[in-house]
Structures are given as structure tokens and as C-alpha cells.
Amino acid sequence: MTAKVKFDEVNVGDELPAQTYHVDRANLVMYAGASGDFNPIHWRESFAKQVGLPDVIAHGMYTMAQGGRYVTDWAGDPGAVVDYGVRFSAPVVVPDEGGADLEITGKVEEKRDDNTVVVALTARSVGQKVLTRAKAVVRLA
């Protein structure tokens, strides 16, 4: 697959369209099964509250993966992402009723001579930033 976004059509400062990903407890159970991370803070409300959390929280790597999904959807090619990193700043709290929404936006920060761009991501849930220093290097066509 080739990236759908063309290097020549992207400029520093371009904003990527916002995308909202809904997260519910079923997503967390499926992710736990795939990742092998069955920590009860991700599925048992009583345990999460017992350890001082407001409710069940999404796996940090699940949250990070949604940022990766956002970038690969934009680029049109999962292989276009050559580097990706984040810092976790707050958990995504996932109530049993209604779940949670994770809104991700992006902005092109830099264009490089090798047809790559640096995209800075912002991820928020309930208005709170949940990822910081989130950046992806993406090779475009």
C-alpha cells in the first residue's frame, strides 16, 4: 500500500482532521486478551477504585495505539510510520455506562528532505490531555 497523502501537498502547520475514537469496556477486554495485560485496573471497577483510580482506565498502550491508528489512517499506509513515541500524562477513564471518547488531532511540525514529515499529536479525553510529546515520523509518497 502506498501513502495516500503526498509529500508535496503537505506543509508545515497543516492541521490533520480531528478524529474521535469511542472506548468502552468491551474494547478493553478485547485489548487485554490480545496484549496479555489483564491488570484488573482495566476491567474491574472495584479494584480500580481500591487503588485510588476514579474508575476503570484504558491501557496506556491501547491509548497510544489509537494515536498510531489516527496517523496511519491519515497517511493511508500503516508502513508509512517510521517512528512514533508518546508520554502518558493522564489515564483515559472508561465508565461502565457510556464509555469514553478519545479525541485526537494532529499538526505537521516539520518536513524533512527524505520525504518524511513530523506530525505532533494531541489526544484528549473529557477535555484532559492524555498523551504528551506525542510525535510520529511519517514517510509520504
Domains of the chain: 7-22+58-139 (3.10.129.10)
- The pLDDT tens digits for 54-100 are 999 999 999 999 999 999 999 999 999 999 999 999 999 999 999 99
User: Residue 4: its pLDDT value, please?
Assistant: 87
pLDDT interval class at 111 (50, 70, 90): very high
pLDDT by residue (tens digit) across 112-125? 999 999 999 999 99
Cell numbers at 93, concatenated: 477513564
pLDDT of residue 3: 63
Instruction: Please report the pLDDT score of residue 121 as a whole number.
Output: 98
- Summary mean pLDDT of the chain: 96
Section 14-24 average pLDDT? 98
Band of pLDDT at residue 32, cut at 50, 70 and 90: very high
Q: How far apart are CA 76 and CA 73, in angstroms?
A: 5
| Backbone conformation region of residue 130, classed left if phi is above 0, alpha if psi is from -120 to 50, else beta | alpha
Is 60 exceeded by the pLDDT of residue 2? no
What pLDDT is stored for residue 1 in this prediction?
Answer: 56
Question: Cβ distance 39 to 49 under 8 Å?
Answer: no
Q: Are 14 and 80 in contact (CB under 8 A)?
A: no
